[in-house]
Amino acid sequence: MTMPTMSAETTSLSWVLAANNPQSLAEFYANALGCSCRKGLSDQHWMVSLPTGETLQIYRPSHQRPWPVRGAALAPCFQRIGTDHPETELAGWIEQLEVLGARRREPARLESFGAECWMEDPEGQPFLTLVLQQGFVGS
């Protein structure tokens, strides 16, 4: 089976940080780093535009998932721009990443903003894969 290649035009890297109060923490980092923050995909999601061009995404975890272990609350977020069927695109992307040595930490989930799956790299470090629903802008 031929795997589609990943494209730099449709994939971006940001950092994702779990927080009790995402807006307050986003304002802290924006002020500390001399940059701006804005509301993200929901009231529980805020984004800090870093001076280097990357994005720090700060979110309050869903009540449906356990809180990240202290010290493990920061992880990269690999994001793709939306499609009409984000869960289908995410499933294909997960397959590509598993071929490279990644493992799923939990099942993929469909959310109001798109589809996401927490995974681990080959050394066991967590990262989030996110495919936005068409019409959402994440970074």
pLDDT greater than 50 at residue 20: yes
DSSP helix/strand/coil, 135:
coil
Choose the CATH number for 11-63+73-133 among 3.30.70.120, 3.10.180.10, 3.60.20.10, 3.40.50.720.
3.10.180.10
Let me know: does 67 contact 61? Beta carbons within 8 Å: yes
pLDDT of residue 131: 94
Question: CA 9 to CA 108: how far, in whole Å?
Answer: 23
Residue 55 vs residue 137, higher pLDDT:
55
Q: Supply the mean pLDDT for the chain.
A: 83
Q: Give the DSSP per-residue string, 5-48.
A: PP-TTTEEEEEEEE-SSHHHHHHHHHHHHT-EEEE-SSTTEEEE
State the pLDDT confidence band at 49, using cuts at 50, 70 and 90. Answer: very high
pLDDT at position 39 over 50:
yes
- Residue 118 forms beta bridges with which residues? 128
> Over 90: is that where the pLDDT of 67 sits?
no
Confidence of residue 51 (pLDDT cuts 50, 70, 90): confident
Contact 26, 46 (CB under 8 A): yes
What does the pLDDT read at residue 139? 45
Sign of torsion, CA 3 55 87 106?
Answer: positive
Read off the DSSP letter of residue 88: H
Whole-structure pTM value: 0.61
Share above pLDDT 70 across residues of the chain, in percent, rounded to a whole number: 82
pLDDT digits (tens, 9 = 90+) for 77-120: 888 877 789 999 999 999 988 988 899 999 999 998 899 999 98
- For the chain, the straight-line distance linking the first and the last C-alpha, in angstroms and rounded, comes to 32
Is the predicted pLDDT of residue 129 greater than 80, yes or no? yes
What pLDDT does residue 79 have?
85
